[in-house]
């Protein structure tokens, strides 16, 4: 390939990542695209993260900062980056060799410009690689109204690839947010006219665990805070459908939390409560076909809730999930 191809900067925040960062770094260094720089931002780790990074020498760019959270660490890396394009990779995830080249090709084939490429990934759990278990898969609605869809939920995985221009136009991550900071940035971009391009080939491994930051209960309160800010700042520019959704959403709970509470009601056998919860969830999910169909079915079709309850209990028994883990 020509050396004149654009440089891609991969930003990797890390905090006490000694168990996983070696695989994450190696994944970036073994990309089959020739022009990649990796910037690791150590967010004040107290384990062997710094020592492991030092072993890679000048193959990576390493910066250590005072602990300030994921958003702050990512911002430090973005400021260090010199690439024409930027990509994110957390220190417990792995990019497979075709990742960068495939992302750039998807961006170019979509026409370039104000596009944000969102890549799919295979789930990596304590049991190993979940072949066939995608992070996104059919959950991404390619026909969705992206503005309304992003207000309803984060449609964008962390495996993003975008031109430097995005940061120049909409800014960096909000360092005040400890949760949902990625969603807030992508939401800002979409409301500013940027378009999400879904790249379905899973050339990354996403490490999932029940204690992952994305599942922390405090994140649901942050979602509400972010949406309230959107209504305050962008109110006059929002469509009638967008304003109506926000007003309805701010009177209830986060969709994901409603789903978890609905599942818990089903498990406990409180069918009436489950149907009420899913009826509310259906009103918040117009751009999410899977959730809309599931919620509407449970809420409206006689007997459906009991069938879903039986399904949940079978899954719980198969994977050994306890009731204490459900609302984490």
Determine contact, residues 243/235, Cβ cutoff 8 Å: yes
Residue 321 has a pLDDT of 64
Residue 328 falls inside a structural domain: no
Residue 204 falls inside a structural domain: yes
Q: Cα(196)–Cα(210) distance, rounded to whole angstroms?
A: 28
Lowest mean pLDDT among 61-65, 142-146, 192-196, 315-319: 315-319
Residue 326 falls inside a structural domain: no
If asked whether residues 132 and 242 sit together in one domain, one would say no
If asked whether residues 142 and 173 sit together in one domain, one would say yes
Q: Cα(60)–Cα(33) distance, rounded to whole angstroms?
A: 16
Is the pLDDT at 43 greater than 50? The verdict is yes
Mean pLDDT of 191-218: 85
Last residue of some domain: 193, 215, 237? 215
Domain count, the chain: 2
Cα-based torsion angle of the residue sequence 319, 182, 25, 65 in order, rounded to the nearest 10 degrees: -120
Residue 327 falls inside a structural domain: no
Residue 318 has a pLDDT of 76
If asked whether residues 159 and 43 sit together in one domain, one would say yes
Residue 163 falls inside a structural domain: yes
If asked whether residues 19 and 156 sit together in one domain, one would say yes
Residue 210 has a pLDDT of 62
Last residue of some domain: 215, 247, 268? 215
Nearest to 255 by CA among 297, 296, 224: 224
Cα-based torsion angle of the residue sequence 219, 221, 223, 226 in order, rounded to the nearest 10 degrees: -130
| Percentage of the chain modeled with pLDDT above 70 | 91
If asked whether residues 208 and 223 sit together in one domain, one would say no
If asked whether residues 15 and 156 sit together in one domain, one would say yes
If asked whether residues 128 and 65 sit together in one domain, one would say yes
Residue 234: domain span:
218-320
* Beta carbons within 8 Å of 89's beta carbon, 6+ residues apart: 10, 11, 12, 24, 27, 28, 95, 159, 204
Mean pLDDT of 94-117: 98
Is the pLDDT at 290 greater than 60? The verdict is yes
If asked whether residues 283 and 190 sit together in one domain, one would say no
The CATH code of the domain that includes 125 is 3.90.550.10
Is the pLDDT at 89 greater than 70? The verdict is yes
If asked whether residues 124 and 260 sit together in one domain, one would say no
* Beta carbons within 8 Å of 55's beta carbon, 6+ residues apart: none
Residue 1 falls inside a structural domain: no
Q: Which helix (H) or strand (E) holds 8?
A: strand 8-14
Residue 215 has a pLDDT of 64
Residue 207 or 131, more confident: 207
If asked whether residues 43 and 190 sit together in one domain, one would say yes
pTM for this model (two decimals):
0.89
Report pLDDT digits (tens) over 58-77: 999 999 999 999 999 999 99
Residue 325 falls inside a structural domain: no
User: What does the mean pLDDT of the chain come to?
Assistant: 92
Residue 250 falls inside a structural domain: yes
Nearest to 172 by CA among 79, 38, 104: 79
Residue 328 has a pLDDT of 47
Last residue of some domain: 168, 199, 215? 215
Residue 1 — very low, low, confident or very high, per pLDDT cuts 50/70/90? very low
Residue 3 has a pLDDT of 54
Lowest mean pLDDT among 116-125, 221-230, 291-300: 116-125
Residue 124 has a pLDDT of 84
Residue 125 has a pLDDT of 77
Residue 179 has a pLDDT of 94
If asked whether residues 154 and 238 sit together in one domain, one would say no
If asked whether residues 303 and 168 sit together in one domain, one would say no
Angle at 253 between CA 252 and CA 255, to 5 degrees: 120
């Amino acid at each position: 390939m020509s050396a004149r191809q654009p440089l891609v900067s991969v930003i990797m925040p890390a905090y006490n990542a000694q168990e996983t960062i070696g695989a994450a770094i190696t994944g970036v260094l073994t990309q089959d695209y020739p022009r990649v720089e990796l910037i690791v931002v150590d967010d004040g780790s107290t384990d062997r993260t710094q020592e492991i990074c030092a072993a890679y020498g000048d193959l990576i760019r390493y910066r250590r900062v005072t602990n300030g959270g994921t958003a702050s660490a990512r911002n430090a890396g973005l400021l260090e980056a010199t690439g024409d394009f930027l990509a994110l990779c957390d220190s417990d995830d792995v990019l497979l060799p075709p990742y960068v080249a495939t992302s750039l090709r998807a961006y170019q084939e979509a026409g370039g410009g104000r596009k944000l490429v969102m890549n799919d990934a295979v789930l990596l759990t304590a049991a190993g690689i979940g072949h066939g278990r995608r992070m996104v898969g059919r959950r991404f609605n390619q026909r969705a109204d992206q503005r309304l869809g992003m207000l309803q939920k984060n449609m964008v995985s962390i495996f993003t690839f975008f031109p430097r221009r995005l940061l120049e136009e909409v800014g960096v991550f909000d360092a005040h947010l400890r949760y949902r900071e990625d969603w807030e940035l992508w939401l800002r971009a979409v409301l500013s006219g940027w378009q999400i391009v879904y790249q379905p080939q899973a050339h990354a491994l996403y490490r999932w665990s029940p204690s992952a930051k994305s599942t922390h209960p405090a994140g649901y309160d942050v979602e509400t805070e972010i949406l309230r800010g959107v209504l305050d700042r962008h109110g006059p520019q929002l469509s009638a459908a967008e304003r109506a959704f926000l007003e309805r959403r701010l009177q209830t709970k986060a969709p994901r939390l409603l789903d978890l509470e609905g599942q818990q009601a089903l498990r406990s056998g409180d069918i009436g409560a489950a149907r009420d919860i899913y009826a509310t969830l259906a009103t918040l999910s117009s751009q999410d076909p899977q959730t809309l169909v599931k919620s509407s079915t449970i809420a409206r079709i006689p007997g459906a809730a009991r069938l879903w309850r039986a399904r949940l209990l079978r899954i719980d028994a198969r994977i050994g999930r306890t009731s204490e883990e459900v609302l984490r």
